[in-house]
Amino acid sequence: MANQSDTKTKILDSAEKLFAERGFSETSLRLITSKAEVNLASVNYHFGSKKELIRAVLARYMDVFMPAAAAAIIQVKQQKQCASLDDIFSSLVSPLLDLNTVRTEGTLIFLQLLGRGYIESQGHLRWFITTHYGQYLTQFVHAVAESAPEIPAAEMFWRLHFTLGTVVFTMASADALTEIAAADFEEHNDIEAVIRKVIPYLSAGVSAPVG
């Protein structure tokens, strides 16, 4: 019984790293299990299938991040009567960075997984996210909409997806970008620095005057 959760954790730890780096379908179960130093068949024994492993990897982060993010937004709206978009986005920073304490490089891995999930999977992951965490998503959308009431709902729909694209793409290629930036501009750019750079960009974009 002690080894069960040990094997399960080893698989999850190995899988999330590889999934974030190379994507879901480009990562084979054999690579995951060999890096985790467990048997190939243990994935299907503990998780049932590769699809369910993918969902389990994502759920481990979602279950931590989503409630924390929801609480942070509620807190911001209590402290400030009229929270700005910058306030809303900024309130998500510490829930994101707290994932680094949960697991090594947790923040980066979570954001990369999110990006891979949104781009790669046509069906099962998007369904999994919306059905399991849909309440949090709508709550977040409402908070943003309240902070930019001049933007019509239809326009806001698109701008939030633009925002998602910005975040997801940036994080999916964050490794390469921070290297280039460090070489070209001699700046120190860890994941937190990138997050803090992107927030003004997103706020300005979401609240841009409607053409």
Binding site for DNA (CB under 7 A): 1-4, 6-7, 27-31, 38-46, 49-51
Q: Does 26 bind its own copies (CB under 8 A)?
A: yes
Among residues 93, 141, 145, 198, the one that binds its own copies under rule CB under 8 A: 198
Q: How far is the CB of 3 from DNA (least distance, A)?
A: 4
Among residues 32, 58, 168, 195, the one that binds its own copies under rule CB under 8 A: 168
Cα 58–Cα 61–Cα 67 angle in degrees, nearest 5: 125
Among residues 120, 139, 141, 145, the one that binds its own copies under rule CB under 8 A: 120
Partner in contact with 72, chosen from its own copies, DNA, none, beta carbon below 5 to 8 Å by kind: none
Collapsing DSSP to helix, strand or coil, 200 comes out as helix
CA 136 to chain centre: 13
How many CB atoms neighbour CB 39 within 10 A?
11
Partner in contact with 202, chosen from DNA, its own copies, none, beta carbon below 5 to 8 Å by kind: its own copies
Q: Are 171 and 125 in contact (CB under 8 A)?
A: no
Q: Are 107 and 99 in contact (CB under 8 A)?
A: yes
Q: Which residue has the tokens 């490089």?
A: 105
Q: How far is the CB of 6 from its own copies (least distance, A)?
A: 32
Kindly indicate which of the ranges 56-64, 99-107, 141-149, 201-209 contains the residues binding its own copies, using the contact rule CB under 8 A: 201-209
Per DSSP, 208 falls in state: S
Q: Rounded to whole angstroms, how far apart are CA atoms 125 and 200? A: 30
Partner in contact with 63, chosen from DNA, its own copies, none, beta carbon below 5 to 8 Å by kind: none
Partner in contact with 6, chosen from its own copies, DNA, none, beta carbon below 5 to 8 Å by kind: DNA
Find the distance separating the first CA and the last CA of the chain, reported in whole Å.
61
